[in-house]
Amino acid sequence: MSGEAQTAGEYIKHHLQNLTYGKFPDGHWGLAETAEQAKEMGFMAIHVDTMFWSIFLGVAFLWLFRKVAKTATTGVPGGLQNFVEMVVEFADGSVKGAFNGRNPFIAPMALTIFVWIFLINAMDLIPVDWLPLAATFIGQHVFGMDPHHVYFKVVPSTDPNATFGMALSVFMLTLYYSFKKKGAIGFASELTLHPFSSDNKVLQLVFIPINFMLEFVALIAKPLSLSLRLYGNMFAGEMIFILIALMYGGGWAIGIFGGFLHLGWAIFHILIITLQAYIFMVLTIVYMDLAYQVPEEH
């Protein structure tokens, strides 16, 4: 959203600020009008735009796939049914290729992760000013807000809170199935008896803290890498779109050049948003497969 007096730096900062709802230092609740106010709200603040688009796109995914499932035909499928079946088969094939256990929950989870993250990432393809301008108009004329204080990020995966939330959910599931499959003793053995081991009991006791440090770091690295990979790639892509959008205000020649850059980057970005959704899905399947491996299989 470009205001009349906005500099390039202010324009970029405005687009990178979430619409934040939380508790002010004086005790009342409301929407933050500045980045400083949002920071003061602390951990319990809610990024309204991230939550709205995440839930909206999740519901849209469920509604669409449910509609196709209810109207599916055994005859010649329509275009939408054919597309949905292709996506389902793709997710199912990915699970069969990477997951060696038996759990009917894994394939639906993989499908949900892939489609949901793809839809979230695809919001990056909408021109950066369209939805923020619509939000500014609604905020100003419906809620009486100052248009300069209406923030609206439309790509949830550019918010680390969203990507960390998804990664932590996957992490908790892997811990749950690790305990369920291996038991507490088996899981503890996995963290303390590998990669270094010895038949000598005294030496094995020496290895236990070393193994634990190595395995614990590897364990914690899973949700960190899962979340930061998605966040970093999508944030970088969004930043490039914002920088290209600045070119439209630099005259007709630079604007035309920016238009070609925008088109080229958008086409290339389709590959990025699909690849990031696929990587998140595959890594989730792999982590679940590791949770099902008993220590003897290492």
Residue 144: the pLDDT is 87
Q: What is the mean pLDDT of the chain?
A: 92
Phi, psi of 69 (to 5 degrees): -65, -40
- Does the pLDDT of residue 212 top 50, yes or no? yes
Alpha-carbon torsion (111, 113, 114, 118), positive or negative: positive
**pLDDT over 90, % of the chain:** 78
Residue 3: the pLDDT is 43
Range in 85-99, 217-231, 267-281, 283-297 with the lowest mean pLDDT: 283-297
By three-state DSSP, how is residue 255 classified? helix
**pLDDT over 70, % of the chain:** 97
Give me the mean pLDDT over the 235-239 stretch.
96
Q: Which residue(s) pair with 46 in the sheet?
A: 21
Q: Would you call 233 a catalytic residue per the annotation? A: yes
Residues 6 or more apart whose Cβ sits within 8 Å of residue 146: 33, 140
- Does the pLDDT of residue 296 top 60, yes or no? no
Among 3-12, 182-191, 265-274, top mean pLDDT goes to: 265-274
Give me the mean pLDDT over the 198-216 stretch.
90
Asked if 152 and 133 count as a contact pair (C-beta separation under 8 A), the reply is no
pLDDT tens for each residue of 150-181: 999 999 999 999 999 999 999 999 999 999 99
Residue 260: the pLDDT is 94
pLDDT tens for each residue of 15-65: 999 999 999 999 999 999 999 999 999 989 999 999 999 999 999 999 999
Residue 1: the pLDDT is 46
Residue 195: the pLDDT is 86
Q: Which comes out higher in pLDDT, residue 283 or 189? A: 283
Q: Which one-letter amino acid corresponds to residue 102?
A: R
- Does the pLDDT of residue 298 top 50, yes or no? no
Residue 125: the pLDDT is 95
Candidate list 82, 161, 225, 227, residue with the active-site label: 225
pLDDT tens for each residue of 239-257: 999 999 999 988 899 999 9
CA atoms within 13 A on the CB side of 214: 11
Q: Structure pTM?
A: 0.92
Q: Which comes out higher in pLDDT, residue 128 or 197? A: 128
Q: How far apart are CA 294 and CA 183, in angstroms?
A: 10
Using CA atoms, how far residue 177 sits from 84, 91, 128, 133, 185, in Å, is 29, 20, 41, 45, 14
pLDDT tens for each residue of 88-130: 999 999 999 999 989 999 999 999 999 999 999 999 999 999 9
Helices (H), the chain: 8-15, 35-40, 48-70, 79-98, 106-122, 130-141, 160-192, 201-246, 252-292
pLDDT confidence band for 5 (50 / 70 / 90) = low
Residue 294: the pLDDT is 75
